[in-house]
Chains A and B, each alone.
Chain A
């Protein structure tokens, strides 16, 4: 066979092979994505969820012991959508100025209440008195006029429907003035209850009649007096 006849045969074979490749039905340039991306910002909110329940007290005939008849309660609802969030509990009362009122160990917290009367017959207590109760330097009765300390119990809980499953809240005393709670994402309630009898020799006949008050706070910022 002449060379001039071999070339067209080769060309024909080549075309056939090319045609076979084209015959595939694979799509080309056929996938495109829409990568939808949304940003959910951190959210944090604290609210006092129920009106604080005021309490009444009773004392013995010698006016040496006093106890709260019905627990004084307040609660906070904390909502957070971050995986861990620190919140701080602290308390204040009014003396010469507004001073820190929370003390004691975690799990055995105490809160100082002071007479709300302003002026008149020496009913107002002093910063020194409140600090004395908190630091334990007042050991004898009549050492803390118009300031009385009671136990403070804090019970945190997570809303099971709106919180991380199997999550829990941990707490630790953070310095002298704060309790730090670390919570997972979710909705938490912190029930604060004051009850029982006066603590640390803080009650005596020098505590004049009237309304005694302490204020508790919950915040994501640590309290610094």
Chain B
């Protein structure tokens, strides 16, 4: 006689399945790679040696994900920041920045923006180069809204993942924007920024 001391139990099927998914979101990295951002103006002519900046853009996003803009700003009376581009985007306006009491008025900036001659403490210099490596493109869009008003450069990545934006500011002032007596001695500043705004 054989006696079994252990009993084999029957287990019911009890499987569990977990499907793990991870979404990789669109992301952007912008880095300023090279730049020459300061210089001296020759008072008698208004000429400076030239300025430039380059930004490296990396993204796995598309133009549907982001609005890539190259904006600009200049500080006016009362600390109000307005766009530093001329209306046609061909020049960048610099405003006196070292003492608040000598900040340019918004009227002076507006005058310089349309190529006028009555713009104390504002000097316009040509944007002699503004490009980005293909297939990305960059162009000025006068109607594009920014925090500082309308008008900025817009970059289209065209499904590319990486590109370098280069901006060069010419050294000879735009005709009429520099007057020895009207533009007082001091520091003149313009800020150009490159940013990506997520589209929800």
Contact = CB atoms under 8 A, between A and B. Distances in A.
A19 B48 CA distance: 51
A3 interface: no
Contacts of B183: 40, 81
Nearest to B189: A37
Given A34-B35, A36-B92, A25 B61 contact: yes
A81 B41 contact: no
B138 interface: no
A117 to B, nearest CB: 42
Interface stretch (A4-12, A87-95, A123-131, A136-144): A4-12
B197 A27 contact: yes
B157 interface: no
A19 B185 CA distance: 55
Contact of B184 (A23, A33, A185): A185
Interface stretch (A48-56, A159-167, A206-214): A159-167
Q: Looking at chain A, what size class is its interface with the partner chain?
A: 35 or more
A33 B26 contact: no
Contacts of A186: 181-182
A39 B18 contact: no
Size bin of chain B's contact surface:
35 or more
Nearest to B32: A32
A220 to B, nearest CB: 14
B191 A36 contact: yes
Interface string B90-110: 001010010000100000000
B179 interface: yes
A37 B96 CA distance: 10
Interface in A1-49: 5, 8, 11-12, 15, 19, 22-43
B55 interface: yes
Contacts of A31: 30, 193-195
B158 interface: no
A27 B66 contact: yes
B32 A34 contact: yes
B20 interface: yes
A163 B191 CA distance: 27
A79 interface: yes
B20 to A, nearest CB: 6
A82 interface: yes
A25 B182 contact: no
Contacts of A38: 38-41, 48, 51, 94, 123, 187-189
Contacts of A23: 23, 25
B37 interface: yes
A22 B194 contact: no
The 10 A-B pairs with the shortest beta carbon distances in the complex, nearest first, are: A43-B43, A34-B53, A25-B198, A186-B181, A162-B181, A27-B196, A27-B28, A42-B185, A31-B195, A30-B196
7 contacts: A22-B24, A29-B28, A30-B196, A36-B51, A38-B39, A40-B187, A165-B120
Interface of B: 16, 18, 20-32, 35, 37-41, 43-44, 48, 51, 53, 55, 61, 65-66, 92, 94, 97, 102, 117, 120, 123, 167, 169, 179-200
Given A24-B25, A34-B193, 6 more contacts: A25-B26, A30-B195, A34-B32, A37-B38, A40-B43, A163-B182
